[in-house]
Amino acid sequence: MRKLLLLVFFSLSSLSSLSTARAETINFTTEEYPPFNYREGKTPVGATVEQVEKMMADIGIDYTIDVFPWARAYNQALTAPMTCVFATAHNDARDKLFTWVQPLLIDRNILIKHTGSSVTADTLDEAKSYLVGTWRGDYTETTLRQANFARIDVGADFRATLKKLMSDRIDLMPISELYFDKLKKDGNAIEKVTVLSEQPMGIACQKDFPKDLLTKMQAALDKLIADGTQKQIFLKYGLNVGN
């Protein structure tokens, strides 16, 4: 009888622990990179934020979204349980560091210049002679170094780097092609120079993230893509995603 009671006790304890684990909140981190993810006041908004919100509403799991400088947002998802960072470029260097839900978008990253600057590069090789700005912790810093760019200026964040470009303190900077199209449409004096890279952008979750939750999140994102919701979200933010 004693063994039976102990078995029942430990079984109930295990069920209780599982219930507690499933009651945990998923913590999302992101950066200021409008119109994909940014803050209006204290509220996270943007084209990728809306996708995450709709996904989580679909699967009914509690979550938070915090906007940090990219290096902090990225590093937190590397180490903290139940944490995911978006929108994260899925490249070879990052592949095994996280578990993935994707794509929030498929994007090309291009190098741009300030209209009227003295930059005359038409190819990636020609661009290597110029000072190129990026921001701390962003994958484009690694991409530039792997492409043998020698003159790289690393700023605090995306906004700081864009400000440097517009004041001609740097010659070039990488940017999402989708965002470049919006900035041009909004009247910003910038020009495309050449393509730097192309990659899926996704949600990168801490490597021990529960696989069943990951599967549910992927299914919810697949549904947003299949029914056209993802495309409509991009159009809402003035992003031309093609057909």
Cα–Cα distance, 99 to 76 (Å, whole number): 14
CATH topology of domain 107-199: D-Maltodextrin-Binding Protein; domain 2 (3.40.190)
Do residues 85 and 92 touch, judged by C-beta distance below 8 A?
Answer: no
Q: How confident is the model at residue 81 (pLDDT cuts 50, 70, 90)?
A: very high
Kindly tell me if the per-residue pLDDT of 144 is higher than 60.
yes
Residue type, 8: V
Q: How confident is the model at residue 240 (pLDDT cuts 50, 70, 90)?
A: confident
Q: Which H or E run includes 227? A: none
Between residues 165 and 6, which one has the greater pLDDT?
Answer: 165
Kindly tell me if the per-residue pLDDT of 19 is higher than 50.
no
CATH topology of domain 16-106+200-236: D-Maltodextrin-Binding Protein; domain 2 (3.40.190)
pLDDT for the residue numbered 23: 53
Do residues 106 and 191 touch, judged by C-beta distance below 8 A?
Answer: no
pLDDT digits (tens, 9 = 90+) for 157-202: 999 999 999 999 999 999 988 889 888 988 999 999 999 999 899 9
pLDDT digits (tens, 9 = 90+) for 82-123: 999 999 999 888 999 999 999 999 988 999 999 999 999 989
In the chain, ranges of CATH 3.40.190.10 domains: 16-106+200-236, 107-199
